[in-house]
């Protein structure tokens, strides 16, 4: 496995690649899903983009918008795969920033940094997990808003 340096979070919130594939789907409410009567909420959409490079990691960006195109929530999740060590442990770093947009357009959310260890010969996530929440900075929120705008324009 290649040695992947874990980049700065703002670097992860960089512009989307030109070839990123965007997927739009209708949104169903949790109540409808639980009742087995799932149907779309009129005009609401989830807009997502997945990028995967198995030897490096994956990224999932998801935005929910209402019937007027107003952003309701956004989440950007990046999982990076590190090099396995002599003991056969692979380190995964998961960075995420997600939350909701308030009526005034401001963003309220949490940034998570999670480190997980997994044995190469195991299907289970059997190593220590360290997960640290923090309040996103203004720069991180601005970067998330830029990447969300880019996603919605595609």
The residue among 78 and 73 whose pLDDT is bigger is 73
Per the listing, tokens 């996530």 go with 125
E-strand spans in 85-153?
Answer: 89-101, 107-119, 129-134
Q: What is the pTM of this model?
A: 0.76
The first and second tokens of residue 89, run together, are: 């442990």
Per-residue pLDDT averaged across 145-154, rounded? 89
Q: What is the pLDDT of residues 94-143, one digit of tens each?
A: 889 999 999 999 999 999 988 887 776 666 656 667 888 999 999 889 98
The first and second tokens of residue 8, run together, are: 């700065």
Q: How far apart, in Å, are the Cα atoms of 69 and each of 21, 43, 49, 100?
A: 20, 9, 17, 14
3-state DSSP call for residue 70? Answer: coil
**Average predicted confidence (pLDDT) for the chain:** 79
Band the pLDDT of 38: cuts 50, 70, 90.
low
The span from the CA of 25 to the CA of 6, in Å, is: 32
Band the pLDDT of 30: cuts 50, 70, 90.
low
The span from the CA of 64 to the CA of 150, in Å, is: 14
């Amino acid at each position: 496995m290649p040695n992947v340096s874990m980049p700065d979070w703002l670097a992860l919130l960089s512009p989307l690649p030109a070839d990123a594939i965007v997927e739009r789907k209708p949104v169903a409410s949790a109540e409808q899903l639980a009742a087995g009567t799932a149907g779309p909420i009129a005009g609401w959409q989830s807009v997502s983009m997945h990028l995967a490079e198995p030897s490096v990691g994956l990224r999932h960006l998801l935005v929910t918008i209402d019937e007027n195109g107003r952003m309701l929530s956004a989440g950007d999740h990046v999982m990076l795969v590190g090099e396995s060590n002599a003991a056969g442990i692979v380190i995964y770093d998961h960075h995420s920033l997600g939350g909701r947009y308030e009526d005034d357009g401001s963003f309220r959310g949490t940034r998570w940094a999670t480190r997980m260890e997994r044995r190469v010969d195991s299907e289970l996530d059997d190593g220590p997990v360290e997960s640290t929440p923090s309040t996103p900075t203004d720069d991180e929120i601005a970067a998330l808003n830029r990447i969300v705008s880019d996603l919605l324009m595609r």
